[in-house]
Amino acid sequence: MSNKLLWRATKAVFVREMRSELRSRQALNAVALFAVCSIVAVSLGLGPLNRSAELPLIHAALLWIVLLFAAFTALSRVFVVEEEQRTAAALRLAAPPHAVYLGKLLFNLVLLSALTVLIALLAIVLLRMQVKAPSIFAVMLAAGALGLVSGTTLIAAIIARSSSRSALFAVLSFPLLIPMLVTAVRGTALALAGMGWDRCLAPVQTLLAYAVALFITSLFLFATVWED
């Protein structure tokens, strides 16, 4: 298939996802509330923290734990819904596998980006997280979100076809996300502490390399998962 056709099909899948989400706002409502609840729970549990050398690391770790679990609740929906509403077969006929994967990946990326912005803002307000290098912090979150999405979208497709869906998603994704998670936490802590690019470039590079590697592997493997 030519690139142009693939791109058009991808766009169609993405627009379809966006439209059905905007109509029902199911994912957005559930996940946004989940994010608010977990940040509030963390802030209440900790109370105001004293400034110390380790505070950026603590904040970064909490931020990414909340993001991780929000992602676990949000990102599997794109494929699980197809199986629940029995629309997978129709989608299989309507669009080539690569377009389905890319469309859903883009949708997940948009969803997670919105979620990341929300959680980061909540953390700044409620947790009193101080961001000393805002631009690097934003880049780090974006690179981390890319890694999170490229690592979990294929898993979402896998678990949609199994019997115990929601539990399995976290179980399958978590070990694969550990390298990315650890890098993101360390990198975000550096950004919160106000370190420059000389220290922060390496984590961003690792995150991007992780995202690209998993994205390409997913492209190779997705057709196998999607076939009936």
Partner 1 sequence: MAERLAFTAKISLGLAMSGIIYAMFLVVPQYVGLGEAGRIIIVHVPTAWVTSAAFALSAVFSIVYLRTRSALHDASAVAAAEIGTLFCIFATVTGSIFAEVVWGTFWNWDPRETSILVLLLVYAAYFALRSSVDDIARKRRLAAVYNIFACVTMPFLLFVAPRVADSTLHPNCAFLQGSKCEGISLDLNGAKIGQLGDVVVELKSVETTGELTQARVEVRMPGLTQNAELTPSLDASGKPADRPEFPGQSFRMVLIEANPQAGTVRVNMQAPGTGLLSNQRTLWVFLASNLTFGFLALWLYRIRATILHVSALVETQEAH
Shortest CB 49 distance to partner 1, Å: 21
Provide the residue type at 189 as one letter.
A
**DSSP of 138-175:** HHHHHHHHHHHHHHHHHHHHHHHTSSSHHHHHHHHHHH
The two tokens of residue 127 are 């947790």
Count of alpha carbons within 13 angstroms of residue 82, beta-carbon side? 22
Shortest CB 125 distance to partner 1, Å: 29
Shortest CB 200 distance to partner 1, Å: 12
- If you ran DSSP here, which 8-state letter would residue 75 be given? T
- Phi and psi of 135, rounded to 5°? -65, -45
The nearer residue to partner 1, 121 or 209, going by C-beta atoms, is 209
Those residues whose C-beta lies under 8 Å from the C-beta of residue 102, and which sit 6 or more positions away, are 6, 10, 13, 14
Shortest CB 174 distance to partner 1, Å: 7
Which residues would be at the binding site for partner 1 (CB under 8 A)? Answer: 151, 154-155, 158-159, 161-164, 168, 171-172, 174-176, 178-180, 182-183, 186, 203, 206, 209-210, 213-214, 217-218, 221, 224-225, 227
The nearer residue to partner 1, 63 or 122, going by C-beta atoms, is 63
The nearer residue to partner 1, 58 or 126, going by C-beta atoms, is 58
The nearer residue to partner 1, 127 or 155, going by C-beta atoms, is 155
Residue with tokens 């994967």: 101
The nearer residue to partner 1, 87 or 217, going by C-beta atoms, is 217
**DSSP of 200-211:** HHHHHHHHHHHH
The nearer residue to partner 1, 44 or 53, going by C-beta atoms, is 53
Shortest CB 179 distance to partner 1, Å: 4
Contact 90, 100 (CB under 8 A): no
Shortest CB 150 distance to partner 1, Å: 11
